Structure 1
Amino acid sequence: MVDLTEMYGEGWCITLAALEAAEALCRMGVKGAASMPDGLDVVTERMEEGGEEPEVLLLGRDLRGGWCAVLELEGTCGWTGTDPGVLAALSAGGQTAVSAYEDPNRIMVQVAVDGAVVCELDVVTGRFVPGSTGDQQAVRDLLSVGFSLDDEASGQAAATEYSQRAVLALRAVTGVELMEDDFSGPWLGGLSTLGA
């Protein structure tokens, strides 16, 4: 299973939506997304320069089964994919969108369905944040792999490293098995200020 912390360190956000990548990037505030064959190199250069710009570079690509992924590595102003308004836009019209992110010592997953965030999961504890309800399909899918409403993680969730738990949660909700190849090669990308 992909280990996003091993790949990107302790600062990343990945959002999966049932949209084409260009449309997801647009809903995440990118105007005029363009092909970026060296997208990860561009993000690395931006981070090394250490600018305090409000824009962050979002990288998107189409996946399998009608899903796309949007990757963020510049979290200095917050993660665009975790903004409730962004998740609402990505999940509008009866769709589902899910974001997973890591800040140092914190890995969280948020799920939005039909324009509203329905649950938030603390991946490190394996528990849902209070307010998540078990009557949502996404919550039931997460419970089925070992996450809990009020206890410690068990089953598959307990048997994985923390960032792999995030990937497991993404798969439980979307059915998409992320692979390392999903993070290599060309991207579609552009700048957004919605996370600021």
Structure 2
Amino acid sequence: MDLDEMFGEGWCVTLAPHPLTETLHLMGVANPVPCPEGLNQAADFLQEHQGDGAFILGREMPGGWTLTIEFESSIGFANDVLRTLAADGRTAISAYRDPDTRTATIAHNGAILGRLELSGRYFDGPSGNVDTAHRVVRSLTAVGFDASDDCEPTGEADTEEPEGCLILAVRVLTGVTLTAADFEGPWTGGVF
């Protein structure tokens, strides 16, 4: 799945361990509304009915997760929002892409654990140090994401495509295997 091809240059994808409406509220959408099928139609629908501005679209995923996507916005990537989504012993992941950056931030139990550099396939801690003993970090290093200064991925993480790294990290952290079909069909969302 090529997310760049699907979404263009600027996007933010977040997986949160909350129901759909709660996730959208936590991300700043006051009045989520059901949108027509397809991302393009949903974006047009929101602009027609809620006005211009940044918007978030979301849908429920297996296992109690919610997938959100933003275009030209990255509120899900903001540390304070991600910490809120990952409160109470939960884990959340948000991936952000602009023309120069492909990064996923991982949070657990209200704390940012670090950033996964998708192009380089390595994990970097919030202050340059990674808590390699943390169970969430261990789950990522177990599939080959490098949390050392060497920045040398191995195993499953040793892929050439940043999107493959994102799909792997999401699967490891959430149990959800993202496919192109997950980005089709009906959405719920709103302007924030």
TM-score bracket for the superposition, by shorter chain length: 0.7 to 0.9
State how 1:90-129 maps to structure 2 within 5 Å: 90-129=85-124
Secondary structure of the 2:64 match is coil
Equivalent residue for 1:174?
174
Q: Which amino acid aligns with 2:169?
A: A
Q: TM-score, normalised by structure 2?
A: 0.87
Q: Which amino acid aligns with 1:10?
A: E
Q: Is the contact between residue 42 and residue 187 of structure 2 (CA under 8 Å) also seen in structure 1?
A: no
Deviations 1:20-62 (A, max 9, x none): 111100000000111011462256659xxxxxx6x41100000
What displacement does 1:124 show? 1.1
Equivalent residue for 1:72?
70
Deviations 1:102-152 (A, max 9, x none): 111321111111111112111111122223211222211111221101222
Query: Partners in 1 of 2:187 and 2:164 — Cα distance?
Result: 23
Q: Which amino acid aligns with 2:10?
A: G
Q: Which amino acid aligns with 1:137?
A: R
Equivalent residue for 1:34?
33
Q: Is the contact between residue 36 and residue 42 of structure 2 (CA under 8 Å) also seen in structure 1?
A: no
Equivalent residue for 2:140?
142
Deviations 1:128-185 (A, max 9, x none): 2223211222211111221101222222122241122112111111111011111001
Equivalent residue for 1:186?
186
Counterparts in 2 of 1:6 and 1:157: CA distance versus 1, 3 Å: farther
Query: Partners in 1 of 2:9 and 2:139 — Cα distance?
Result: 26
Where does the alignment leave 5 or more consecutive residues of structure 1 unmatched? Answer: 47-52
Q: How many residues align?
A: 181
RMSD (Å) for aligned C-alpha atoms: 1.8
Query: Partners in 2 of 1:118 and 1:43 — Cα distance?
Result: 33
Query: Partners in 1 of 2:38 and 2:190 — Cα distance?
Result: 9
Equivalent residue for 2:4?
5
Query: Partners in 2 of 1:143 and 1:24 — Cα distance?
Result: 28
Query: Partners in 2 of 1:80 and 1:115 — Cα distance?
Result: 16
Secondary structure of the 1:86 match is helix
Secondary structure of the 1:65 match is helix
Q: Is the contact between residue 39 and residue 59 of structure 1 (CA under 8 Å) also seen in structure 2?
A: no
Higher mean alpha-carbon deviation, 57-66 vs 173-182, is at 173-182
1:159 pairs with 2:159: yes
Query: Partners in 2 of 1:71 and 1:136 — Cα distance?
Result: 28
Secondary structure of the 2:170 match is helix
Query: Partners in 1 of 2:171 and 2:5 — Cα distance?
Result: 18
Q: TM-score, normalised by structure 1?
A: 0.85
Equivalent residue for 2:55?
57
